[in-house]
Structure 1
Amino acid sequence: MGMESWPSKFIYVRCFLLLLLNVTHCFLLVQTQALGQVDECSALLQFKESFAINKSVSAYPLAYPKVAFWTLEGDQNRSNCCSWDGVECDEDSGHVVGLNLSSSCLYGSINSSNTLFRLVHLQRLDLSDNHFNFSEIPSRFGQDLSSLTYLNLSNSLFYGQIPSEISILSKLSTLDLSHNSWKLHPDIIPLKLTKGYMRSLVRNLTNIKQLHLSEVDIFSTVPDILVNASSLTSLQLRFCGLNGEFPIDIFHLPNLEVLDVYGNSNLTGYFPNFNRSNKLLKKLNVAFTNFSGMLPASIGNLHSLNLLDISYCNFSHYLPSSLGNLTQLNYLDMSGIFYDVPNNNSTGQLVSEYSLSWIASLTNLYSLSLGATKFRGKFPSFVANLTQLSFLNLGVNEITGQIPSWLMNLTQLTTLYLTGNNLSEAIPRSLFQLQNLEILDLSYNNLSGQVEFDQFSQPKKLKELYLSYNKLSLQIITNLSATIPQLEVLKLSSCNLIEFPEFLKYQSELRELQLSDNNIQGRIPKWVWNATRETLLTLGLYSNFLTGFDQNPINLPWQNLYSLDLRTNMLQGSLPIPPQSIRNYMVGSNNYSGEISPSFCNLNHLNILDLSNNSLSGMLPQCLGNSSALGILKLTNNSFHGGIPQMCPDENSLKMVDLSYNQLQGKIPRSMANCTQLEFLNLGNNQISDIFPSWLGALPALQFLSLRSNGFHGMIGKSATNHDFPKLCIIDLSDNGFSGVLPSNYLENWNSMKFVDENSRKVSKAKRKPAL
């Protein structure tokens, strides 16, 4: 019996031992995982504590602070951060493998000591749409996070050199470092790649599918090694400073779906013959590049294409009708293309219906832009077929006749740009039935008749309205009040207004207000600024009959004002002091008097200062020319006296200085030798006593120089080099005390005076529309 039972007992004991070993192994494994999780959870908490939460730094409307909900509960040794918002863990190992903190309102810097780099098992990391306070991307991203397959640091205000260690991340399928400069301060250096690094980056990322480097300063050619990136599905290189010729074989990558090189003006290239290898291409954007050549008829083979933007390129000749085969297109922009379609018109003029009738078949379009295309004739009837349109731009063309009433059938329309055409007659009432309309631009046309402004209360979503420079007369009901939607942009220049529209009392969201070239008289009422004190950025009231402000505030009431244009009015008193945000301060041709307040020296962002043609007096503040941002300084025709302030610090933007017709004395400050961008200098009709400023000849951009009617004296003297005043076109030395003769080598070397720019001559003769 004993002997017979032994094998079964042996088997039982053996199984028990195996089970015990497995349990021990599992216990050790769980314990190891728990310790690993504790360390990673601790690292995440320390990462959270290294940032402030600021809801204004994330642009996404639904952004929220994910890390705000991270907390340890109970026994820290048993804490599981895998349940935290934005954290993903591997089911088997328990390690943190994914971290999605996009649009999480994080504000602060990331440096090499950040605990983020303890998460060595990370495979997916998304920190996009935060504010990392202009910190550089640490090299540890490449050194410690070697398992990353997805890395997104876009829209998060990193800056400086991209570390070469990023190329170590050979497993990456997605790398997105784009859009880190769009909201940067001008003095902050955006992300950039050193010369040649683009090639090594592409060579090492052999698994790359999505490469997004838009707004990274690359300033090199597109490496031809990209044609070997057979896995690539999306290549986005907008505004990278790319140059040279775009490798044409990139178009034939077998998996390519998105190609976007928008805004690289020095990038040349042309389209290939598209074949079946391009069957996946969905988005093609080469706008604002130097792409040229014919648009091939084979472009009609891109049957999956839903976005095509070839605006402002140099494509030549006619557009192939095969474009009508792109029936999946949602977005089409061909602005700035000059059509050259053979036709039977003896005058050689273009017929819009003939050249673009194929657009009628693109019934899925929601965005169509044909701006600045020399489009000629009546309003294009093919638009009536495009009932899904949300965005329509036909601006800056030669469209004539009436705005068609059938536009009311485009019920999805949110944006309508018809500016800069020759449209005439009245605005059809049916236009106001577009209930989804948000932006309406009818400016710079020949529209006429009386417009009852209360009609604009019908499109309840209207945000931007442009009616300037037509032949319209606006009838504004006094008690219109709150029936008008809350507008953000309102431009009613040259609309025969005689007073400020009273409904402005209730417009609390206005960013831009233009009421220039009207007949508005008297004072600017206080209620105009009460509603817009915090929101208004741009105010244009030039060419009216304004005499001042209600209560004459010492400081302008708008807290965030960017641009102020009060030129050509009848404004009196002291100059109102603008806020720190001001960049363009233009009050020329008024009756302002008194001195320039020293407060103007504190305007660090000031780019244009125009105080010309007033009755201002006193000495110019000595700090006036010290701003590195100042580009235009116009003080002509006042009564300023004393010396000219020092101009141009080491870094400066000064392009125009006009101090003529004052009583300025002394010498030209030698600091003006630093004004290397200066193009226009007028010191005429003052009391300056100096010798000929030959040292100004070193300024490389100077085109206009007037020293007339001053106390300049002595001999001009022979030029020291053959490169003095290299760009000078106009010089006026008359009515001074110069002696001797003008040295002949000046006249011999002022080559810019000898040539006529034929293109400029043609432009000057051509019929041009007003600036938009």
Structure 2
Amino acid sequence: MEFYQTLCLLVSLSAQALLDLPFTTAQSCHPVQSNALLQFSNSLTVKTDMYPHCDPKTTRWENGQDCCLWDGVACDNVTGNVIGLDLSFSCLQGTLHPDSSLFALRHLQSLNLGANNFLTSPILPELSVFTDLRHLNLTYSNFSGLVPTEISYLSKLVLLDLSQTFNGTSTYAPSGLRIENTDFKVLVQNLTELRVLKLDLVDMSAVSPSSFVNLSSSLTIFSASSCHLQGELPPNIFSLPNLLDLDLQSNDITVSFPKSNWSKSVESLTLSYTNISGKIPDSISELKNLKTLALRSCMLIGSIPSSLVNLTELTRLDLWNNELTGHPPSFVGKLERLIHLDLFYNNFIGVLDFRVFSTLKNLQFLGLTVELNLDSNSTNYIFSELEILELSSCNLIEFPSFLNSSRKLRQLNLSKNKISGRIPRWFWDLAKDTLSILDISSNLIEGDIPQFPWKELAVVDLSDNLFQGPLPTPPLPTFFFSASYNRFSGEIPSSFCKLSSLRLLRLANNNLSGSIPHCLGNLTELSVLDLGANKFEGTLPRSLNNCALLGQLNVSYNKINDTFPKWLLEAEFLSSFDLQFNEFHGQIDPPTDPFLRPSLRSFSIANII
């Protein structure tokens, strides 16, 4: 009896499960919409070399097939209408016209044309026909001109992304896309459902930040970095109830932090390269969910408040290049989730015990310019995730032995310290497959340098030390190599001529001798060549004329015996050259037109024959 009861129960549950299954019989794509998609695709060209890893989705669209099955196309299961079109990173290039068949897809709820090239097409007001649109993404697609007011008619928008790429510096210029103050006011007033608004590198110089006071209370992400914004930021923006991510970096805006009423939801606050008056307030510790605090180069003063220790979720703290004073913050060791810590270029006083970092096992970036106390047990510190270490001007007297555990290291800066003696043997086994930037300049390091073991090394700075012996050849990927102000001797190895990516070569103030290799003319990317204050003889190679991008040339204080190199006066990009204290001779034409090249700003030919 029990068996039959169990069987009946299973049958009943199975029947109910079948009834609960969603209706999966989807309608086919409407022929009119299928044709509209094909016409739109045919109006553009596909360039597979446009961006790395772009995917030419439209090349797989075939006439006669159900367009609901095409890559990037989504349809309503009941009506068959095309409701989603995602052609981001699809290698598309062309112009978007007002009569484009794209606008026939009236049922679109999501449109993503990001990371294509629309050849400075304007963002068209015809987009307003998509009255059901909830997601509009036109990022990084080379649109230009005014953002039309008609965008504000899309009252159901939840996401609007018109941003261009951003590299995180203060000098990145806005794109050709711009928005007027009136249009922005209408946009923020009408789009009351908006949760994500991204406008990075859109020219907003005509927009007053005071209009931010009307931003939707639904907003979770607002990003307007490097937009030429000017004026004072309304403090209420920090109180938006649902705000998760605010990024207004690289704008000429004045920021005054509120003393209270911070939005408790904020997870990321990025205001680098803005004008922040005064100190970091204690009240910022109210942001219990904060994971990213980026305030680099903001003219901050005073000490870092100890209340930041309450930000237990913090993974990124970036206070680079401010006027912060007081003792370096030892409490950071209690922020055990920290992955990125940058306190570079501030005015801290006193000594920071490096042991405070021993709890930060997940640390990937560490940047300090404070005096460090590295005890003898530093070999016990394990930083297996460390990728970037910046310890410039920290009064270090030796290479930090804890580096031995950092197998993922990509960038290492130990410049402007007091490290003396030879480079320890264990250092040459450090991060052989990952290290790309090495700066150990301005120390007291001596001895010779064997062959570099790092295969991916791109930037090498050995300058201002006591190195001696033959000049080491950096790996092939190197584009920046500086070994000036050392005691290297002998000739420049011919292997340097194989460094096809080399852009900067500084070897001044050494004991290098012999002739300047003619094969340096093979370095077509070279823009700076500094060989001053050595013992080079012979002639100045005419082959350097092949370095078409050469902007700076210094061969002063050598023993070069040659006729005056008139080709220097014709070099297109040369801005300065220094030939003084050599044995150049011959006739120099009067300083007329050749000397008036716009690129040439300075030259020195003192004490030549």
If the length of structure 2 is used for normalisation, what is the TM-score?
A: 0.75
SS in 2 for 1:624: helix
The aligned residue for residue 483 of structure 2 is: 587
The aligned residue for residue 212 of structure 1 is: 137
How many pairs are equivalent? 540
The aligned residue for residue 18 of structure 2 is: none
- Residues 669 and 557 of structure 1, relative CA distance in 2, 3 Å threshold: farther
What is the CA–CA distance in structure 2 between the aligned matches of 1:299 and 1:112, rounded to whole Å? 40
Q: In the alignment, residue 150 of structure 1 is paired with which amino acid? A: G
The aligned residue for residue 93 of structure 2 is: 161
SS in 1 for 2:308: helix
What is the CA–CA distance in structure 2 between the aligned matches of 1:298 and 1:617, rounded to whole Å? 66
1:91 aligns with 2:25: yes
Residues 123, 149 of structure 1: 8 Å contact kept: no
The aligned residue for residue 528 of structure 1 is: 427
Deviation at 1:567, TM superposition (A): 0.9
Give 5+ residue unaligned stretches, structure 2.
1-22, 35-51, 74-79, 166-173
Residues 581, 607 of structure 2: 8 Å contact kept: yes
The aligned residue for residue 461 of structure 1 is: 362
The aligned residue for residue 43 of structure 2 is: none
SS in 1 for 2:433: coil
- Residues 407 and 595 of structure 1, relative CA distance in 2, 3 Å threshold: closer
Return the match for 2:501 from 598, 605, 612.
Answer: 605
Residues 339, 365 of structure 2: 8 Å contact kept: no
Q: In the alignment, residue 161 of structure 1 is paired with which amino acid? A: Q
Deviation at 1:535, TM superposition (A): 1.5
Higher relative contact order (CA 8 A, sep 6+): 2
1:423 aligns with 2:321: no
Deviation at 1:517, TM superposition (A): 3.3
What is the CA–CA distance in structure 1 between the aligned matches of 2:458 and 2:518, rounded to whole Å? 24
1:319 aligns with 2:253: no
- Residues 413 and 578 of structure 1, relative CA distance in 2, 3 Å threshold: closer
Give 5+ residue unaligned stretches, structure 1.
1-88, 98-106, 129-145, 181-190, 341-349, 428-450, 712-772
Residues 646, 672 of structure 1: 8 Å contact kept: no
The aligned residue for residue 238 of structure 1 is: 164
The aligned residue for residue 371 of structure 2 is: 471
Q: In the alignment, residue 112 of structure 2 is paired with which amino acid? A: D
CA deviations over 1:127-167 (Å, ceiling 9, x no partner): 79xxxxxxxxxxxxxxxxx975434354x5x6573464895
Q: In the alignment, residue 292 of structure 1 is paired with which amino acid? A: Q
What is the CA–CA distance in structure 1 between the aligned matches of 2:124 and 2:260, rounded to whole Å? 35
The aligned residue for residue 77 of structure 1 is: none
Deviation at 1:375, TM superposition (A): 2.4
The aligned residue for residue 702 of structure 1 is: 600
Residues 121, 143 of structure 2: 8 Å contact kept: no
What is the CA–CA distance in structure 1 between the aligned matches of 2:289 and 2:457, rounded to whole Å? 41
- Residues 502 and 414 of structure 1, relative CA distance in 2, 3 Å threshold: closer
Deviation at 1:289, TM superposition (A): 1.9
If the length of structure 1 is used for normalisation, what is the TM-score?
A: 0.61
Q: In the alignment, residue 266 of structure 2 is paired with which amino acid? A: L
1:729-768 matched pairs, under 5 angstroms: none
The aligned residue for residue 269 of structure 1 is: 207
- Residues 701 and 625 of structure 1, relative CA distance in 2, 3 Å threshold: same
Deviation at 1:378, TM superposition (A): 3.2
The aligned residue for residue 222 of structure 2 is: 284
What is the CA–CA distance in structure 2 between the aligned matches of 1:568 and 1:709, rounded to whole Å? 27
Return the match for 1:253 from 190, 193, 198.
Answer: 190
- Residues 399 and 320 of structure 1, relative CA distance in 2, 3 Å threshold: closer
Q: In the alignment, residue 176 of structure 1 is paired with which amino acid? A: N
Residues 210, 233 of structure 1: 8 Å contact kept: yes
Deviation at 1:200, TM superposition (A): 6.9
The aligned residue for residue 3 of structure 2 is: none
1:43-442 matched pairs, under 5 angstroms: 91-92=25-26, 114-117=59-62, 120-123=65-68, 149-154=83-88, 161-162=93-94, 164=96, 168-170=101-103, 171=105, 172-178=108-114, 191-199=116-124, 202=127, 208-236=133-161, 237-239=163-165, 241-246=175-180, 247-248=183-184, 249-254=186-191, 255-264=193-202, 268-273=206-211, 278-296=216-234, 299=237, 302-316=240-254, 319=256, 321=258, 324=261, 326-339=263-276, 350=278, 352=279, 356=281, 359-380=284-305, 383=308, 386-403=311-328, 410=335, 412-427=337-352
CA deviations over 1:364-413 (Å, ceiling 9, x no partner): 43322333333222333553554443333334333332356665665544
The aligned residue for residue 135 of structure 1 is: none
The aligned residue for residue 489 of structure 1 is: 388
What is the CA–CA distance in structure 1 between the aligned matches of 2:604 and 2:92, rounded to whole Å? 43
Deviation at 1:563, TM superposition (A): 0.7
Q: In the alignment, residue 606 of structure 2 is paired with which amino acid? A: R
What is the CA–CA distance in structure 1 between the aligned matches of 2:59 and 2:179, rounded to whole Å? 41
SS in 2 for 1:524: coil
Q: In the alignment, residue 475 of structure 1 is paired with which amino acid? A: D
Deviation at 1:660, TM superposition (A): 1.9
- Residues 388 and 683 of structure 1, relative CA distance in 2, 3 Å threshold: same
What is the CA–CA distance in structure 1 between the aligned matches of 2:544 and 2:126, rounded to whole Å? 45
What is the CA–CA distance in structure 2 between the aligned matches of 1:642 and 1:165, rounded to whole Å? 60
Q: In the alignment, residue 431 of structure 2 is paired with which amino acid? A: T
What is the CA–CA distance in structure 2 between the aligned matches of 1:487 and 1:511, rounded to whole Å? 8
SS in 1 for 2:157: coil
- Residues 700 and 482 of structure 1, relative CA distance in 2, 3 Å threshold: same
Higher mean Cα deviation, 619-628 or 586-595? 619-628
Deviation at 1:566, TM superposition (A): 0.9
Residues 122, 145 of structure 2: 8 Å contact kept: no
Deviation at 1:357, TM superposition (A): 5.6
The aligned residue for residue 718 of structure 1 is: none
CA deviations over 1:321-363 (Å, ceiling 9, x no partner): 49835343222223333345xxxxxxxxx4x37xx46535444
Deviation at 1:632, TM superposition (A): 1.9
Q: In the alignment, residue 366 of structure 1 is paired with which amino acid? A: K
- Residues 357 and 524 of structure 1, relative CA distance in 2, 3 Å threshold: closer
CA deviations over 1:416-459 (Å, ceiling 9, x no partner): 333333333343xxxxxxxxxxxxxxxxxxxxxxx4x5664443
What is the CA–CA distance in structure 2 between the aligned matches of 1:557 and 1:606, rounded to whole Å? 18
Tell which structure's C-alpha radius of gyration is larger: 1
Percent identity over the alignment is 28
Deviation at 1:258, TM superposition (A): 1.6
SS in 2 for 1:359: helix
Deviation at 1:500, TM superposition (A): 3.7
CA deviations over 1:100-134 (Å, ceiling 9, x no partner): xxxxxxx9886699444458433476679xxxxxx
The aligned residue for residue 454 of structure 2 is: 558
Residues 124, 151 of structure 1: 8 Å contact kept: no
The aligned residue for residue 634 of structure 1 is: 530
Q: In the alignment, residue 164 of structure 2 is paired with which amino acid? A: R
The aligned residue for residue 433 of structure 1 is: none
Deviation at 1:622, TM superposition (A): 3.7
Residues 629, 653 of structure 1: 8 Å contact kept: yes
- Residues 376 and 272 of structure 1, relative CA distance in 2, 3 Å threshold: closer
SS in 1 for 2:314: coil
SS in 2 for 1:169: helix
Q: In the alignment, residue 169 of structure 1 is paired with which amino acid? A: L
Q: In the alignment, residue 487 of structure 1 is paired with which amino acid? A: L
What is the CA–CA distance in structure 2 between the aligned matches of 1:113 and 1:396, rounded to whole Å? 47
Give the CA RMSD over aligned residues.
4.0
